[in-house]
Structure 1
């Protein structure tokens, strides 16, 4: 993993959108003081989650936004994007490239995103846990931070060692577990208090609920008997259904076997057809051979005839040469005609090329118009951003007015309450009394509904309606009186607040203005987004036009090539004309050659006669093979016809089986419909599905079931009136009681689990920390000796018994001095000691990239050389980005980035790629 690039827009001095590319190895960032070099480091820390304005060298977070210059307007947003390569999967995201973005507006809104997906700051921090990357990890080392590490309390130095040990995630989990443990103990105290209150009601309602439970148990037994009666009928139908399904299965299997036999016969026919195909292929091959031999034989005859004719032709060739001379002269005329035609074609192509050149000019003008349109859109975007700034200032003013008006409302409300003798306590008391009265009335209504249902089940036709109605009327009268008293407590002066000219109306007017301003801001931002989209569209069209323009230029080049080719063709025709004249002169010379050819032709004629005899013998052999193959094809045709008759017979049997299958399927469907009807009736009667009870065994006969059912119904009738409300209330109290007991048990288990987790976290953290600490301790001594050319350095835990909370002390002994505390060293020695500690950590767990901000400033020439040598060595395993003014450090870098301010207040980046150690090559500006 490496840092590929940083994109900045509106961050501090980067008023324009800037992309800074980084490469592997050592990259040095150089430039004069005040040009914005350290702003790059601040941007990286900021996007990694830095919240301290002091660390960012500002007094407020708003100051990181570009504040404008004499010639440029301030911006309303600052944005930084960190682009990392994740090819090796160091970060727990399934992407080869990861972009972390942070954005802040002047209104105070802040956003984080990972690969354009909105995330929290916590997600960004957790992404880099134990990687060495972070706003306060050892991947970013500044001069001030080095002094802080060396001068801070030993307890504060732990963080850099914990990051190297990879226990930052464990420490975070430990903090979260401690918080959960504290909340769990608080919840246990609360649950125990509530449980004591619930337990009193639990015992009071238990006795009343037992009678209800007996009534419901009898109802359940009755329900079980009715289930058994339904199951007996269900299983009788089901047995008939199983018999018919078995018969259907047998017929289907028989049908499948018959289909398989038909399939095998069809396969046999196909195999015979394949064999016939092979035979027919051989037959065709031999027929082609015969045909070829016939063709050769006829060809030989033709050649023989031709040779005979050539003999006569040679004899008359002298007279023919005169004819050839005339032909050559005719050819000469045709060549001259072609020359005229090609010259006309050449003129046409030149005209076409002039037309294409005109089209090229039109495309170029169209692209220029689009570029001017983009500039106009960008100007409108800038105007909209300025308008947003004015609207935001107006919104802040309205917020101030709203705060003042709210304070006035509160003041007038207090005075009105005092004048009206309003008693909040009395109003709350009446509100509670009214709510309790209504709840009591609702409970009575539910109770009476349950009793009515019981009367209905028991067949009692005379419930005490009159007594109930009088009781309900008294309860309603009581609730009405309470409601009237509650209304009398409402302050009358509140009407003045809601009047059209009242203070509430003024507040609403300001709220409406705030809403309008907010909508205008949103509208402007939407317009900016729309313009940015149109800019992208215009640029896309321009790219397409440029491609078309390139095609036209290629076409123009191709036409020019064609014109050149035509000119070459005319030149070739002129040369052909000269060659024709030369041929006329050579005709006389060919007469002598004709006599010599005559003897050669006669010898060739005798050779062809011998070859013709051999071809006749080969043709006879092929015709015998053709006869044998045709006999085999006839035998295969007879076998195929026999199999086809057998297939026809099997198809008749298959049709009869299909009729039986369809009849049995109708019977099965009838029995299934009966079962479905029984299930529907059971569900309508009991509100449950009969299929829930299909696994139940029924041993009783139908008569016994009917007798027991009558007995259970009589026993339920003798129970008399049952207070079903008591059962429901007891159930609620019981559920709550058991829930609280369960909750208390769960909380105890959670407490034990959290304690175990904390112990495990601390054990693993301790082991990882001690192992890493010992490695860093050894490496620190070795690197210190290498940088100082001798001496020794030590790390010491102040409390070895508790390493996870112990401070870490640093001791150093440069050559020729005593072992001293780090605070007693000189500035250069302290910096070099800090560098030794940094590289000691990198030997244990290197960060993918490291940013060093002028940490080489206090070093002398000798120490700089050792520092650069070590930096080059460690650059093979990590990427280093060094902000420096030292020439030796710059010389040791692989890449250079220059930071300048050509325009006052605006930082600009220039990439410098080193081709050698003496001569740098300056690349193009990539801002």
Structure 2
């Protein structure tokens, strides 16, 4: 398998259709930098399937399309085609039977990328399958780009292993392993989904089992906790009753003690007030004396400060006068020194001025001579350059003519060979069987239709399975939510019913009703239906009448006078007609009731006569002016407004809220019936969703298998059909093409003969021109050398004079600057001397003004006044202190009495609080026991029988309540749900076992593939290592090298290169030079070639880092390997160019557009 040609069109800089013919085994590509040589390598990478733009030296894949120049428009598409000769049938897959394979890739501006094999559209993967195991590919070791050699040798061990895998041909094993892993991944996903369902189901099973246990514990815990609660309340009630009597007696004794101590306190307070008034007067006298003393002290301080200021001022002025005298002397000395230096510098400045003028004149004279010498040099250089251009032009003409002549000879030889090949091809053409081709096309249509149907089924199942799984999860969540809601509703309704039953069966009235045979009668509230929101209003209006019992005749009630009911109780007998309607224009409360019994309606109309309704309290207050005596307006909250008052309603007993609870119980019963239906529907939907999910999983596995088999069958038939169809089309087209090509070859041979004769005559003419031009060029070169010498001498002399003139000028300017600086210094000294003299005079005047005589006289008088006021203050303070002592003693006696009263008051308050707490406790526990309908005698007997103590009883109750609360809501349907869940678990367990078995089978297949791959890699590594150890000394002229595995597991281990050139003992290849690294990488690549030679190899400036000696060894090795492998290399090295059998020159005469010129080196050398 060899590469015959590379066809480019619109790819990067190859704007025009360009055909690289590669007839030889060693083809070199040459040309200047930037002409587009490396674009050929990029084209091969691209057509073999490269999809990463950075590997093609671009930012996006659109960069491979010719982007235009200043004179050309951009191309709309890029096309690259590789034409292979496959006589050895080395290509992979169904295309191996073709003797010629054309692989083509086309990319358009809209991003559409298409692949073709023999003009048949294929996938990118099909192109890669053709070259599997051949060492070819977009990033295989057979394509070595710029800098790739150094990257190979410096690659990480894991990256270097990829080259070894490609050489070993394990690509097909990796592909099989990848497909198996994909199927294994799908199986694991299915297993994960089933396990998720199982985990969720196991959680539900555990929950259901726990709920069944909870139902059994609930009743036992509730009964035990209720009994202990009643016992605790009874014990606390008895304790509160005893505490109340004891605390009341202690409180009376404390009140008597408080009244006695209060009388003693009032006597002490009267005595204390008299002493306090005298103490206030003495304090005022002390404050006045203290103020007068402060005034005298302030005057003394002021005079002393004035004297200190005068003394300190005189000292400061005297120090300043001494400093000024010293500074006047220093400035006088500076002025004299500057005057002497100024006279010396005046003499030096005159000498510097004379020297600078003399050097300036010499520089000017030398500058006038230099232009003439430079003009003479330019004229000589111009003539020599013109003659050199003439010689170069003649040389180029001769070289172009020689290349053209070699090209003519090569083209003639190629045309002769082409004519022979065309004749042989025409004789070897054979058309395929048309009947077989038609049969294959029918089979292909059927298989494609089957594959399409299987793919559609697989796609539908892949989309439906996640949806079904989500639906199953949603159904499960719905079942859980509905069960929880049903339990909440049931618990709420049971609690409300228990409360209603408690009201119905009043503990006090029930025995009395049973005794009189009235226990079967229903209370009035059980027959009422109230408009929602008005229950409290009706309860507030009817009060005890809500529990009234209906009797046929009210005369029966007379018999109850001797045996009155033990609690409030009302009876009624329905009247025939109700009371008349009121006169107020307001909504009536009776209208908020829905009654079907006329007697009851008449009764309630009488009871609710004059009772109206309003939406709010504000509205009722606004309408109260319409009410008559005895009438009222009721609001939804139960409050009532009369003409002159407002009654606020509050639920003050257990019977409060009867109607609202009854309404809520009716609503809850309806909701429970609806909720039961909803829960059953949710559970049915869950079962259906789980069954659908499991069935979809099984159908997905089968559909994936069917789709894979159908696609494989369709692909095989498509490849075979394409092959036969293309073969038939190729035979026909090839016959026509051969005839046209033979005619074209004959015409080209005649044209080449005419060009050969013309070129020989032109050779003789150019040889004569070259000899004459070279002789004239030598003479002109000697003239240029003499003129350059004279110009250089003149320039050097001028630079010396200019440097001396600059130095003289600098010295003169420095002297002038110093003289100006000294003048300024003299002026500054004079100014400073004058300023200091003025300051000295001002200081002398200030010293005369400073005197402290007046302040000394005033200070003595102020001290005498201060002493007198200090004596008066001492007397006032003595009197004040005596009164303070008396006041403190009286106040202490008062405080002692007050402190004695506080404990008494606190004791009285404590006794009152304790007595109130005991009373409230007694009432509270009575109410709790009554509300709980506890039998006090039975509770007392249980306490006595069990010797129950209050200590620890509350802890037992709390523990019982916590245990009840911990049980949560009781699910009565737990057993039925538990059976359904267990049946479903059995089905899922069986499905899990099937999936685990499938996973085991796939894992065994992966292990078998790994074993085969491992064996192949080990063998390949040993062979490549041997070739590498042999080729390294051959390229380096000595030394040794080897490959090493970096891990124990062959499939994961990297490959590390160890190389030691002759005379070196380095431990790592990173210590080698760039050329040594490149040569080591070349040895490694060629060692891989020895194992599995690629059909062709592309080398892009691999020899760039090599010196001449290494390049020669490299060239010899490449030439030797070209017997097995075709080489296409790019190089700027002359030694590498010499080994080429054919040179392809890439030029860019038009900016941005690459073109080629091909030369056969053997034919060209044979013609010289």
State the TM-score, normalized to the length of structure 2: 0.33
The higher radius of gyration belongs to: 2
State the TM-score, normalized to the length of structure 1: 0.41
